[in-house]
C-alpha cells in the first residue's frame, strides 16, 4: 500500500501542470500521426516495422511475411497511441479534479477521461476519411477504444488516487471510493 502522504494545493497544481505538459505532448503526437497523408503514413510505418524487425531478429523472430507483420504493427500502433493518450489524460485529470472537487474525484476523472479519450479515438479515425490516401475503418475505432479502456484501467491501477484529508490531500495507492 505504501505510506500516506499529504500534499498541498500548490504542489497538486504543480503535479497537474507537469501532467498537462505530457498530455499536450501526446495530443500533438496523436494529431500529427492521424493527419498524415496515406503515403507519408505508410512510409513512416514501414520504417518503424523494419527497425522493430531488426531488433526482433536478434532473438530469432522471423515473420511469415513483412506485409502481415507491418499490418499487425499498424494495428498495435492504433491501440498503443490511444492507450497512452487515455493513460496520460487520466493522470492529468485526476490531479485537476481533486484540485476542484472533494467528492468522488476518481469517478469524475474516469468519466472525463472516457469522454475526452473516447472523442479523440473517434475523431482520429473519422478525420482520416477526409485525408488523401487514408480511409475510415471501423476496426481501427475498435482498436482505439480498446486502447482507451486499457489506458484508463492501467491509469487507475498505477496512479495514487488522491483522497481529501484534514490539513491537506492524502494519497492512497489503488482505487478508493
pTM: 0.83
CA dihedral 72, 133, 117, 115 (to 10 degrees): -130
Q: What is the pLDDT of residue 20?
A: 96
**Structural contact between residues 143 and 78, judged by C-beta atoms closer than 8 angstroms:** yes
The number of beta carbons lying within 10 Å of the beta carbon of residue 132 is: 9
Q: What percent of the chain has pLDDT over 70?
A: 85
Q: How far apart are CA 23 and CA 15, in angstroms?
A: 12
Sheet containing strand 168-172, edge to edge, reads 5-7, 168-172, 161-165
Q: What percent of the chain has pLDDT over 90?
A: 63
Give yes or no for residue 169 having a pLDDT over 60: no
Q: How far apart are CA 116 and CA 166, in angstroms?
A: 31
Average pLDDT estimate for 123-148:
92
**Structural contact between residues 110 and 175, judged by C-beta atoms closer than 8 angstroms:** no
Between 150 and 106, the more confident residue is: 150
Amino acid at each position: 500500500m505504501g505510506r500516506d502522504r499529504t500534499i498541498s494545493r500548490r504542489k497538486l497544481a504543480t503535479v497537474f501542470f507537469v501532467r498537462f505538459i505530457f498530455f499536450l505532448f501526446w495530443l500533438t503526437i496523436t494529431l500529427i500521426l492521424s493527419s498524415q497523408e496515406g503515403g507519408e503514413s505508410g512510409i513512416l510505418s514501414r520504417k518503424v516495422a523494419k527497425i522493430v524487425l531488426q531488433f526482433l531478429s536478434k532473438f530469432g523472430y522471423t515473420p511469415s511475411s513483412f506485409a502481415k507483420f507491418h499490418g499487425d504493427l499498424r494495428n498495435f500502433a492504433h491501440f498503443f497511441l490511444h492507450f497512452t493518450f487515455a493513460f496520460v489524460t487520466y493522470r492529468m485529470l485526476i490531479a485537476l479534479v481533486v484540485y476542484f472537487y472533494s467528492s468522488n474525484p476518481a469517478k469524475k476523472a474516469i468519466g472525463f477521461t472516457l469522454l475526452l479519450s473516447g472523442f479523440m479515438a473517434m475523431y482520429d479515425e473519422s478525420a482520416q476519411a477526409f485525408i488523401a490516401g487514408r480511409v475510415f475503418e471501423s476496426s481501427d475505432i475498435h482498436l482505439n477504444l480498446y486502447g482507451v479502456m486499457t489506458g484508463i484501467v492501467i491509469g487507475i491501477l498505477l496512479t495514487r488516487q488522491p483522497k481529501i484529508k484534514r490539513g491537506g490531500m492524502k494519497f492512497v495507492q489503488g482505487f478508493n471510493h
